[in-house]
Chains A and B, each alone.
Chain A
């Protein structure tokens, strides 16, 4: 492969610079657009490319104009590239690594000859919002137009194979978080730590120092002092290449650490006592014709390139300066051997008119009528204060005419500002201010004083420079010009929010940090309002774009298993994902499992059943409040089935509760409803009845639960229980007993019957679950005991006509519709849903849950199939299965009241459109409707 630097013969690398951050002893190579380039450790992708004379880094979004380096920072709008499978990498921020493969993003077929650059000629037709005005007719062609528009979308590509690397999170509780490691931020951190605060100092660049890093000798000397002070002061955690991405309510501060060892990125969530915002100032681009041509740079961009990476930004330069940064750039350029052909001093009214060139800058036309041939134009026209962290705390920035920039509105106790966003002044003044803010932050974090006086920084006059007399780009990443903004205003989009939305200015990857204030200024000029009245746009989090990986961290989607799950899997169980739980669906043949329960005895693992341990004298009150039926008289040792409704009378959950002691109960809820029921209980106890003496503990996974069902259930249980009398008289239906099961004390068993068989549900301490399960299978081998899964249980309960809340009820099913009229006890003093149910009593216009039998015994209409009468929907199938016991299909479903009578003929529409005639059965239960098996 060619060595590009040699091939082009261009070498812009300078001799050693005092503040350079490249390691000349460690050379490396990487590829750009397929060609190999040399670089040093410490180079960014663009500094290495600029050193090799590469000027075009990308093509712009709409017009495919060539773009190059401008800010040499994270915000560089023309420097988003693809690195491997990572899109939109900030090439002026990302360090090169050996073997890295970087590609331009928005160019086809190549950066040099981009076909879509013809769009530039079409610019007048592609003006802001053009797509709202065309592609409407013919309507049928819109999808084709849309594909073309989609083809324009900027940005890199994601690959479906990209690995989800390792990201993680950390919690921190610093007294003070300082966002920004420039001089003021470092001083604030040192002062806060010296005052006893635990400090987290966060800097976006790879090193502390802010603008001092690309300064001259005195700045570098000060930088050394400050860095030493930070290192020497205990209690400061320094995070470089990290960024405070958001400040949320309660000073909940998000920090993304980009180069943490061992992880791609780490999200640190810090509950900060005080947040000190010290992000410095962002240099503002100037709006004029040609302001995006490669070779037009900001003064900070040129200075960084020269001083940090020892790269000469051009050969012949014009400098437009309105401030000391521009003046310093002039010195740096001269020092780097660049011919500074002309200095345009905006402070004395001088100006540039336009830049000319194609793939690179050729000349600059100045307001004095001269045109200077050059390959570099450096502008220094002013600053933008990135106040977004303050905005997130509710701050509204205020425009200062004298300084021609926005300032924080101020007035927060737990978010303070220092450095450039707070004002101007000498380096000493900035450091002093930072120290004062740091001390105040420490005091406030320790709640010593909330009203510490903080001196204010001077505000220096700065010419108000936003736009020259020509039109140019306001938003480089969105390709929006000042002309388009003016046109938007003229079309009626005459507030900053409307103009922004119409043109998409400020909506791109730089999030408005470069372009927001220019957009406001252009709109203000167009509407005749002041900048202050036009206002800034609200900066929303995050401060800097954050990867989904960092936000997600490691995946914490816990899987819940019963202690018997490994056994199930080892015995061929097909897993069923049921919310958080993984359960055995069946062990191969659910119909056989049903038959073995009906004829002998079976075991099912029902551990996921929601379980709550309730204690206290007021438990009956709680039960009466939650359930629609009555609970005051539940005798010791008894179990009752209960139904809960929400306040709208809609069935919420069901389950059984047993009384284990005088003030001790065990409540169960459905597996899927367990979380909701817990929140429901807590909301009643915490907000409505804090005076009730009830303790609730969630014990779902403290117990392993097993249902033993079938005519031989008692025989099986008697093999493992000897301290509880199991006879039908001593332990009848709906009773609970505590005792020892298979030698395990502290176990409970109750007699209930979801399957319709004689059955016992046993709850044993979870750690013994597997042992008890295996013991039951071993001892019961002679009885023919077999495990059964969720599918068999569903069939069994359907045969028995027991409903499942959420399947055989829905978001509108009130207790009456589900055939639970018997449970509604309106004479109770109060219960959740009582007013609504009272109101519904006696109505007869709601759907009823009924048992159904297809006439054709082999037809099983899918659950969800609709019941139709004369083209109108009159019901639906909620449950349907082949019944192994009856050898035919059976269903449960909702039907309109006039069809609810047993014997009514109905017509089901199956998903394939075929009709399935069926008849309403006398009861919900189709097997053992009298309940003889259950009570046996």
Chain B
């Protein structure tokens, strides 16, 4: 695709110096992004203003000079999974392909604040997956060995080492599910999810990308096996390329293009407590107890679990969820009984049969997908955006995502990440 230069604008730089300058002068900061009228045609239309859609738009403009791009978002940016997830970033997956892919994303995250000039507050305080029985210990050793061979910092550690990292954890042998060890992944951690969304949006906007909030895609115009345009709540737009980056709504958008995908949408719930003084460094995941938790920089504990056991588009929290979550958290850390849950919520997850995404081309020319992100897609935002942008610019599927193609389900080549991603995300 030919690069089209597109009225890129100056964006106010963020720095400590400018913060001080603005603080003294109290003159306002420039807008982080702008509102535009919908153009009649774009080179690329990205559906979905989450981290995937915005990252794709950003890399198209930043790396490939393709900036006549629209991101269409039916609500506000980050209103989907990207603003509801628990923001765990890690690369200690199980398959070599998965490890390589997610590690590229982790590396991009490590330099994202400086790249976007927006502090995304990537807090690499480590990631611990607890083993409560010998079979999970065995799987962890398997993961650690694959990770190490792929150059990832990842190892199986003993109960005593776990206790040292997390003194609040009940590591006694009297615990109902004693901790037998853990998979420790020091570069893992959590990030400020909204900041990632806003940082990409601001950087894309400054390079000429149009972000249209409150603009819902209602139909996709396909003729002669190729995409011609989209119909939106704000009018029709012509385009040769549509990227479906709508996660929980992915099948609804693909249906508009007549592309069937093996995806079901299920709610995933999470909860947050009131803040307390910092006491927990790493992210803790316990697959056996179906729970994970982390402490944010603000002091809140964030909890989550596996997806709800049935497909639904409901985004309401349930009592069963929060009860069992609390029970399991207290199994791990009995001293937290007096902490209070402040909010619970749910988001939608686009689940594939093999806990791996679907990326790349489809039988409809120009209709590209970056979906199937399930419960684990936030951490993949940067690498997915980068790869999708490359695919659009170069017209050929990058090696890194070749395994994630839609036709793997036709070829029976499923990927094996269920064990590493079901609770750990």
Contacts and interface: CB of A to CB of B under 8 A. Distances in A.
Interface of A: 85-88, 122, 124-125, 127, 130-137, 139, 142-143, 146, 149-151, 153-165, 167, 246, 248-249, 252, 254, 264, 267, 269, 392, 487, 490-493, 495, 497-498, 501-502, 504, 509, 511, 540-542, 545-553, 555-557, 559, 576-579, 648, 672, 806-807, 810-812, 836, 839-840, 843, 862-866, 868, 873, 876, 909, 911
Nearest to A493: B32
B234 to A, nearest CB: 16
Nearest to A139: B114
B117 A501 contact: no
A492 B34 contact: yes
Interface string B114-148: 10011101111000000011110011111111100
Interface residues of B, number: 105
B329 to A, nearest CB: 6
B119 A134 contact: yes
A86 B319 CA distance: 24
B299 A155 contact: yes
B32 A541 contact: no
Nearest to A126: B23
B363 interface: no
Given A548-B340, A551-B325, 10 more contacts: A87-B338, A150-B297, A249-B318, A269-B319, A487-B28, A491-B31, A547-B339, A552-B327, A557-B327, A578-B133
B1 interface: no
B16 A134 contact: yes
Contacts of B418: 811
A542 B146 CA distance: 42
Contacts of B330: 164, 548-549, 552, 555
B276 A155 contact: yes
A807 B135 contact: yes
A866 B344 contact: no
B342 A497 contact: no
Given A135-B119, A139-B111, A490-B28, A864 B142 contact: yes
21 contacts: A130-B19, A133-B14, A133-B15, A139-B113, A157-B279, A159-B335, A162-B336, A164-B337, A248-B316, A497-B79, A498-B76, A501-B83, A502-B198, A540-B345, A555-B331, A557-B331, A577-B132, A807-B138, A862-B141, A866-B145, A868-B149
B65 interface: no
Given A552-B323, A648-B414, A863 B141 contact: yes
A153 B273 CA distance: 13
A157 B280 CA distance: 12
Contact of B337 (A139, A548, A807, A862): A548
A86 B135 CA distance: 37
A158 B340 contact: no
B277 interface: yes
A909 B145 contact: yes
Contacts of A139: 110-111, 113-114
A249 B316 contact: yes
A551 B19 contact: no
B258 interface: no
A185 to B, nearest CB: 22
Interface string B25-40: 0101111111000000
A125 B338 contact: no
Contact of B341 (A136, A142, A490, A542): A542
Contacts of B101: none
A813 B244 CA distance: 32
A540 B344 CA distance: 6
A154 B299 contact: yes
Contacts, number: 285
Contact of B23 (A127, A132, A501, A868): A127
B19 A491 contact: no
A197 to B, nearest CB: 23
B145 A865 contact: yes
Contacts of B323: 267, 551-553
Interface of B: 14-16, 18-20, 22-24, 26, 28-34, 75-79, 83, 96, 110-111, 113-114, 117-119, 121-124, 132-135, 138-146, 149, 156, 167-168, 176-178, 192, 194-195, 198-199, 202, 213, 273-279, 297-299, 314, 316-319, 322-323, 325-327, 329-331, 334-345, 353-354, 412, 414-416, 418-419
Contacts of B145: 864-866, 876, 909, 911
A676 B135 CA distance: 17
A132 B343 contact: no
A555 B327 contact: yes
Contacts of A122: 23
Contacts of A502: 194, 198
Contacts of A495: 76, 213
A124 B23 CA distance: 5
A125 B20 contact: yes
B412 A839 contact: yes
The 7 closest A-B pairs by CB, nearest first: A153-B299, A864-B141, A549-B337, A551-B326, A124-B23, A545-B340, A133-B14
Contact of A137 (B114, B124, B336): B114
For B124, B334, B339, which residue has the most chain A Cβ atoms within 10 angstroms? B339
Given A540-B317, A577-B178, A578-B133, A136 B119 contact: yes
A877 to B, nearest CB: 9
Contacts of B124: 143
A844 B91 CA distance: 30
Contacts of A577: 132-133, 177-178
Given A136-B117, A540-B345, A160 B168 contact: yes
Given A509-B342, A548-B273, A911-B156, A124 B24 contact: yes
A654 to B, nearest CB: 16
B419 A156 contact: no
B14 A136 contact: yes
A811 B19 contact: no
A840 B142 CA distance: 26
A649 to B, nearest CB: 8
A826 to B, nearest CB: 15
A866 B146 contact: yes
A303 B14 CA distance: 47
Contacts of B337: 162-165, 167, 264, 547-549, 552
Contact of A548 (B23, B192, B336): B336
B326 A149 contact: no
Contacts of B139: 864
Given A125-B20, A133-B15, A548-B339, A497 B32 contact: no
A551 B178 contact: no
Nearest to A813: B416
A492 B35 CA distance: 9
Contacts of A165: 337
A156 B300 CA distance: 11
Nearest to B417: A811
A553 B327 contact: yes
Contact of A836 (B24, B119, B202, B412): B412
